[in-house]
Amino acid sequence: MMNNTPKIAVFAGSFDPITVGHSDIIWRALPIFERIVIAVGTNSQKKYRFDLDQRLAFIQATFAGEPIIETATYTGLTIQFCRSIGAQYLLRGLRTSADFEFERTIAQLNKQLAPEIETIFLCSLPQYSHISSTIVREVLANGGDISPFVPPAVGGMIE
């Protein structure tokens, strides 16, 4: 069946901060979708290392000049955000079997809540499977060099 509806994917997270693991998944997904919306979730209960404007600025600097990639913020259920912008896909990265178990639960739940939305997984590159926002914050808190773990544009923005 022909279907010319643009394929819109949401890549959701808190991105506190965005890492090379996140950006790699997004770069690799570029040929698959017409639009990728990087959606920064905001939770008033949660304490972030970087405020929302900084987290958005890091993402925008990483993907500056990429017309397919947009940023947005949202609160509440990710599937509700997807519906509000007409996104048919949720993009996720898989690092480890622990990620798989967690992601499988969320994907199955989302499928039950929103059958029209498909979750698409890409496996992380092996050299990124140990990288998380949490370890970046840990290295930063202890005065280490975070530049290997964040996109080049972000390295210069965090000192």
Q: Which residues are catalytic?
A: 22, 46, 95, 133
Q: Cα–Cα distances in Å, from 41 out to 19, 44, 68, 142?
A: 16, 10, 20, 26
Interface residues with ligand ADP (CB under 6 A)?
Answer: 13-15, 19, 21-22, 25, 92-95, 99, 124, 128, 131-133
Q: Which is nearer to ligand ADP, 94 or 158 (CB)?
A: 94
